[in-house]
Amino acid sequence: MAQPTLLHFLVLSAVLFALGIFGLLTRRNAIGILMSIELMFNAAAMNFVAFTRFIAPEGLAGQIFTIFIITIAAAEAAVGLAIVMLLYRSFKGIEVDKVNFMRW
Partner 1 sequence: MNLLIFYFMAVLAVVSGLMVVTLRNIFHSALFLVLMFFSVAGIYVLLGAEFVAGVQVLIYVGAITILMIFAIMLTYQLSSKNIRQVNEQVVPAAVIAFLFFVLSLVALVKTAWPVTEAHLPENNTFELGRQLLSTYVIPFEVVSLVLLAALIGAVIISRQDRPERS
Q: List binders of partner 1 among 31-60 (CB under 8 A).
A: 31-32, 34-36, 38-39, 42, 45-46, 49-50, 52-60
Q: What number of residues does the chain have?
A: 104
Q: Does position 88 bind partner 1 by CB under 8 A?
A: yes
Q: Taking Cα atoms as reference points, which of 96, 3, 1 lies closest to residue 50?
A: 3
* Residue ranges in 3-32 that form contacts with partner 1 under rule CB under 8 A: 3-12, 14-23, 25-29, 31-32
State the nearest-atom distance from the C-beta of 104 to partner 1, in Å.
14
**CB-CB contact of 18 with 43 (8 Å):** no
State the nearest-atom distance from the C-beta of 48 to partner 1, in Å.
9
Calculate ∠ Cα 74-76-79, nearest 5°: 110
Q: Does position 90 bind partner 1 by CB under 8 A?
A: no
